[in-house]
Amino acid sequence: MPELPDLTIVAEELARRVAGRRIVRATAPTPILVRATPDELDRLAGVTLGSAARRGKFMLLPLDRNGSTERTLAANPMLAGRFWITDRTERVRARTGLRLELDDGRDLRYVDREMLGKLYLVAPGSLDEVPGWADMGPDADDPDLSLEVFRTRIRRHPGELKPLLRNPRFVAGIGNAYSDEILWEARLSPRRRRSTLTDDEVERLYVAMRTVLADAIDRLRALVPPDIQTQHREFLRVHLRGGEPCPRCGRELRQIGGREATTFCRSCQPPL
């Protein structure tokens, strides 16, 4: 699942490589993935792509006409949605939700092999109509999310730490992979309950969150371009490394669960 670091780099690359390009034609080869009518897509001909941005796990692409944003494409990639920048002559892959043909002979495409993500075409000021948008808390890397703000917010959310980090109402942008990394860095069990944390442990969690995400963004800037459709997780310390030695203490990492597995160290991340 693309998370905050992944989408940050994709947004940067889209802003660098396709901002300012004009859409010649917009189509939805797999229309179930796009919340827009054929007429709405037809009207995108002639609009210019603005600079992409990320909010939580959403990708935002402004669509400008005559110097102002006419519509915004809001993409929630969910598990497997990916953006591709391709030559127009490249074959259209199965489960391509959106194809934007650009004025330089390239395409910007959204492909989703699991068909779980959604694309929304919304008017300016209408992002609250997108499911999940209005309920989002601050981005996990938001400069305004200070330690004190973090302390205030975390008091409102009960339950175990891993689901808490993944809850976009608390902080936005963290999923299964980076919650494992953050909790390992903070030396906190994914099963610890928020109510058991000391003030020092809350600070440790906050610092780990900021450090892990910032480090991942730096690494991905070197790994991802130009293939923005490729997700890199090979540098993660613990996620999906069950059975391997813990990078910190050497004890075997434990992995539980199936598709949404949790990986942790029983020694470094004790239950209490």
Q: What is the pTM of this model?
A: 0.95
The CATH number of domain 4-129, selected from 3.40.50.1360, 3.20.190.10, 3.40.50.11540, 2.40.50.140 = 3.20.190.10
Closest CA to 167 of 216, 132, 195, 203: 132
Amino acid at 98: L
Residue 245 φ then ψ, to 5°: -70, 145
| Rounded-to-integer distance, Cα 207 and Cα 186, Å | 8
List per-residue pLDDT tens for the chain, 272 residues long.
Answer: 899 999 999 999 999 999 999 999 999 999 999 999 999 999 999 999 999 999 999 999 999 999 899 999 999 999 999 999 999 999 999 999 999 999 999 999 999 999 999 999 999 899 999 999 999 999 999 999 999 999 999 999 989 999 999 999 999 999 999 999 999 999 999 999 999 999 999 999 999 999 999 999 999 999 999 999 999 999 999 999 999 999 999 999 999 988 889 999 999 999 87
Sorted by where each begins, the domain ranges of the chain are 4-129, 147-264
DSSP states of 131-168 as a string? TTTTT---BTT-TT--HHHHHHHHTT--SBHHHHHH-T
The CATH number of domain 147-264, selected from 1.10.3720.10, 1.10.8.50, 3.40.50.720, 1.20.120.450 = 1.10.8.50
